[in-house]
Amino acid sequence: MINYLVSIATQGVIFAIFVLGLNVRWGWEGDLDIAYYGFIAIGAYIDAVITLPPAGLRPPTEYILGLQWPFAAGALGAMLAGGLLSLVVGAIALRKLRGDYFAITTLATALIMQAVISNDARIFAGYNGLYGLSQPFNSVLRLNPHVYPVFYLAFCLAVLIAVYLFLERLFWSPFGRALRSVREDETAAAAFGRNVFALKLKGYVIGGVIAGLGGALFVHFLGAFNVSAWSPVETLLLYAAIFVGGTGNNRGVILGIFLVLIFFQEVTRFLPEIPGHPDFGPAVREILIGILILAVLRWRPQGFLPEPRAKDRDPAPSAGYGAGSAVAGTQAGG
């Protein structure tokens, strides 16, 4: 039971990292990116081929690189891959496209990525995928199989906290405020001298870097990765977590991911099986998630934790002093 809970918690923590990156793209800058899970997949694949041994030592599997470098190098490579791919896609799609056109472009990007990776087995072993990944840091720690999952959960939690603190600081920074102003009204933001394209591209790249990091953690958690592990549908579930938790709110999207992808997913596993209907459990899970999204959009469209707004730090003294001075000035002038 403990191993089961640790596994579920680890999955939740890693998915929380996923959704934090997507929240930058959708919650902060307002771009509906359906290709987001593809950036997670690229991070996972790149980390895998950096940390795995050469393909020639593991026939009949075939893949690029096979450097057998440590996890830190693989994670860094995953982050760079996610960021560079985001830079390329964003530079093309964000310059002119908005709204539905941007979403369709990202969907096409995800489908192209999936088609290329699945059909060209020389890159990441095609449909067979990559397997046999090492346990990060365990070559040094040498923990037993019952202790290592707890260590990996703690490590992923530390990464989540670091990403959360970084994004919280970024949220309240001039860049974060400027990015959200672009989301609210691009024309007004441009009128105030803000470079809309540059702001959006920076946010898009930041989301890609976080997606790559999450992909690196995810592939070592699974121990294997193939084309069936990612699709545009997975991205839609991440959006569901953002809608439920609170668009633009870092704490809210973390809450949303645990509600949508962890709580509902695990609760439905305990539903009784219906003979002749093996898909009953997954179908009920999707129905519950859909009902939750509809209920939130109907009665609390801002999500459980709405996006925080900047507050005037000392409105009362300033207002009082200004009003008093104005009255005094009027009386003196009269």
Residue 326 — very low, low, confident or very high, per pLDDT cuts 50/70/90? Answer: very low
Residues 286 and 139 in one domain: no
Interval 261-272: pLDDT, tens? 777 777 767 767
Interval 2-42: pLDDT, tens? 888 899 899 999 999 999 999 999 999 989 999 899 999 99
Residues 159 and 275 in one domain: no
Residues 142 and 274 in one domain: no
pLDDT (mean) for 286-299: 81
Provide the pLDDT for residue 311: 66
Residues 216 and 240 in one domain: no
Is there a domain that residue 80 lies in? yes
Is there a domain that residue 330 lies in? no
Q: How far is CA 92 from the centre of its chain?
A: 21
Residues 192 and 98 in one domain: yes
Of 195, 214, 230, which closes a domain?
230
Q: By residue range, what is the domain housing residue 295?
A: 231-308
Provide the pLDDT for residue 151: 95
Residues 236 and 133 in one domain: no
Is there a domain that residue 326 lies in? no
Interval 40-92: pLDDT, tens? 999 999 999 999 999 877 777 788 998 999 999 999 999 999 999 999 999 99
CA distances for 138 relative to 75, 160, 218, angstroms = 16, 20, 16
Is there a domain that residue 1 lies in? no
Residues 167 and 254 in one domain: no
Checking if the pLDDT of 325 tops 80, the result is: no
Is there a domain that residue 320 lies in? no
Checking if the pLDDT of 95 tops 50, the result is: yes
Question: Is 206:24 a contact under the CB 8 Å cutoff?
Answer: yes
Is there a domain that residue 324 lies in? no
Is there a domain that residue 315 lies in? no
Report residue 127 as tokens. 């449909």
Report residue 174 as tokens. 């001039």
Question: Is 246:253 a contact under the CB 8 Å cutoff?
Answer: yes
Residues 190 and 245 in one domain: no
Residues 106 and 236 in one domain: no
What are residue 131's DSSP bridge partners?
224
Residues 155 and 243 in one domain: no
Residues 245 and 276 in one domain: yes
Q: What percent of the chain has pLDDT over 90?
A: 43
Among 4-18, 203-217, 299-313, name the most confident range: 203-217
Interval 234-257: pLDDT, tens? 888 899 899 989 999 999 999 999
Whether this prediction's pTM lies above 0.85 is answered by yes
Residues 202 and 214 in one domain: yes
Say how many domains are in the chain: 2
Is there a domain that residue 93 lies in? yes
